[in-house]
Amino acid sequence: MYFIDDKEYPCSISLAMKYIGGKWKAVILIHLIEKKRYSELRREIPMVTERTLSLQLKELEEDGLISRTVHTDKPPLRVDYELTEFGRSVIPLLSSISKWGQKAAKMQKDLVVEK
């Protein structure tokens, strides 16, 4: 049993999914291997709505996976996002999941062809 923020998690997998679960969190994290501006993220992930991207970024920041820096020194306002040390620790996992996804896609394609 794991307890984080007064919430109970039955196993380490469910705890990990708290941080990277959902449709967009892992995608956003993998795109933040290098520091990016909000507009760059929007361009690189056009399928996600602005509202969803903003909400997911806020959750990732609250969970300590990313940091947000607002530059107000000169207009226009610029916001950068980058992985924290905790966020960087998840990249090997996401890379492994990505490789597995590529293999799964190939295997499923092969299965469809065989039918």
Mean pLDDT by 10 residues, the chain (115 residues): 87 91 94 96 95 96 96 88 97 94 85 55
| Amino acid 62: pLDDT | 95
Is residue 19 domain-resident?
A: no
Is residue 30 domain-resident?
A: yes
| Amino acid 115: pLDDT | 47
Q: What angle (nearest 5°) sits at the alpha carbon of residue 18, between those of residues 68 and 50?
A: 45
| Amino acid 30: pLDDT | 95
Cis peptide leading into residue 76 (ω within 30°): yes
Domain that holds residue 40: 24-114
Is residue 7 domain-resident?
A: no
